[in-house]
Structure formats: structure tokens, C-alpha cells
Amino acid sequence: MDVVEMQARIAALEARLAEEMRARQALAEEVDLLRAVIDEMPVGVIVEDTSGRHRMYNAHMRAIAGEPGSRGVFVSDGVSPAPPERDPTRRALGGEGVDNLESLLAPTDEEGRCTWISQSSRPLLDANGVVRAAVTVTRDVTEHKDILRELDEAIVASDDEKRALIDRLEEGIDALSTPIIEVWDDVLALPVIGAVDDRRGAEITSRLLDAVVSRGSRFVIIDWTGVDTMDTNSARHLLDLVRAVELVGAECILTGIRPAVAVSLLHLDVRFEHLRLLRNVRYGLRHCFARLGRRAAMPGRGAG
């Protein structure tokens, strides 16, 4: 092998090595982004493998239940400890899917009260269809249970008390059905679920503008994954919301518009020229990170 051929082979190997390093870096950035998104989700997420190791236990799960195993779990009577075989993660590791299993977490010294949780779990399979891990999603439904209890109390309340209570319940339900989430510095997310009528449209707009102004947010991701249909009234509220956000100085990104909703918007002659439309919240976050120049500050990078 002469020198020229050897130099050519070395150059080819260096090029392959550089390409592999770029691919590894891109994969690491993707993993960092997904972990950051999962950690900021407003639900608890646990991923446990078949050896019992927690591969993921996000920040919201710690906020709900503390460290793994630190709070006792009871069935819905609040007295009987939940048996191990009832645990949704264990059931998913056995190949069973679980939906909306309600339990009570024992109180901590700081709280002095139990926490209602609702859990759903699914097995994660390998390429051969063998269970390799389980994912469990946990929601704190204590506020929802409190609302139901107040509804029961309203049955025996006076008319004036009922009216005041219903007003409070409507406010609580509106806040629960359309949460405003600060997913990152300068970035808010608003998941919209269900139809938007005049009252709800005004409430969403008011709450979102207050949040944008009070937090000084530069971007708002409005996610319409939970909207199945779109009529003229809902389309008008959507456009009014986008314009209102832009008027207070924030950029609005729309994500998760379903095909049926997109067709409805076309039939309603809604113009998209001034709208930023992206596939889902993850792409919305990427857009915001790029505009904010935050790529270098994402979790998992730059640590010594």
C-alpha cells in the first residue's frame, strides 16, 4: 500500500468518525430534550424495568408522592393498605394494562392530609414482544375529589350558598380543564380540550393574558390535540386568542391541530399566513429554544 492510498484511507476513516460523532451528539440532544419535556410534564411519570429499577421518576412524581416508597398507599376507603398485587406498575410488568386506578397516599408530616391519585400503566415490550419495562402515569386528583365533595354538600345548602358554591366550582373546573403551564423560562403552554364557547373563550383569553403579562413570557404554545371538531365560533375564539397574545408582546405557536380540525378551518376560510403551526408540543419547544438561543443550556449538557 503506497502513501497516497494510506492517506486516502485515513481521511475516509476520519470522515466516518466525524459523522458518527455528529450522530451521537444529535442523539444525545434528542434524549436531553425528551427528558426535559417529561420532567416538566404536569403528571407524574414512572418507568420501571423488570429488575425493579426506576429508569425514570420525574419531578412531578416527586412532587406528588415524594421519593419512591416514602408514602403508604391505601385503597379508596383510606383505611385498608393497598396490596402489592394491586400496584399498577407491577400489573403492567405482568403484561396487564391499567386505567384510572384511584388510590390514597398517606399524609406527610408537612401536609397532614391524604392525597388522592389516579394511575394508568402500560407494559413496554421489546422487539420480541417480551415485557422489558412498565410506564405508569400518576395524576393528583385531590382537587377534583374536593370539588365532588363540595357538590355533594351543595345538595343540602341554601339557594344563596348553592349559587356561590357553583361559581367557585365553575372557576375551579375552568382552571383544571385549561391549565396554563410554564414549561420553560419565557415559555407557557396552554392545552385546550373540548369545545370553546363564548364564556370559556373569554375565560381562557383572560387567564392566559394575565399569565403572559405577570410572568413576562415571550412564547405561548397553544396545543389543540384535545379538540376534535371546530365550528365558526371556536375558530373565531382561536384567532382572537392568538391576536391577543401577540398584542401583549408574546409569540404564539399552535400545535396538535388534528386533520379533521384542519379541514374545518379550511372550510371556514381561516387564513394561516400569520400563524405559526407545528406538529406537536415537542416541535413547539424546539422552535422556542431556537428563538431563545437556549440549546447550550438544556439539561444534561455542560456539566463538569
Domain ranges in the chain are 1-41, 43-140, 142-177, 179-297
Tens-place pLDDT, residues 122-152: 999 998 999 999 999 999 999 888 888 887 7
Looking at 13-27, 43-57, 163-177, which range is the least confident one?
A: 163-177
> Please, are residues 267 and 231 in contact by the beta-carbon 8 Å criterion?
no
- 40: helix, strand or coil: helix
Q: Which of 134-148, 176-190, 219-233, 290-304 has the lowest mean pLDDT?
A: 290-304
- Report the pLDDT averaged over residues 263-275: 73
Q: CA nearest 125: which of 133, 114, 117?
A: 133
CB 131 within 8 A of CB 50: yes
Q: With CA atoms as reference, report the closest residue to 299 among 183, 190, 217, 179.
A: 183
Mean pLDDT of 189-197: 80
CATH T-level assignment (fold) for domain 43-140: Beta-Lactamase (3.30.450)
Domain 179-297: CATH superfamily, name plus number: STAS domain (3.30.750.24)
Mean pLDDT of 15-25: 85
Is pLDDT of 54 > 70? yes
Q: Is the pTM of this model over 0.75?
A: no
Confidence of residue 91 (pLDDT cuts 50, 70, 90): very high
Which amino acid is located at 237 in the chain? H
- C-alpha cell recorded at residue 78: 383510606
The string of pLDDT tens digits covering residues 95-124 is 999 999 999 998 876 657 789 999 999 999
Q: How many CB atoms lie within 10 A of CB 170?
A: 12
| Arithmetic mean of pLDDT, 182-191 | 88
Element (H, E) at 254: strand 251-255
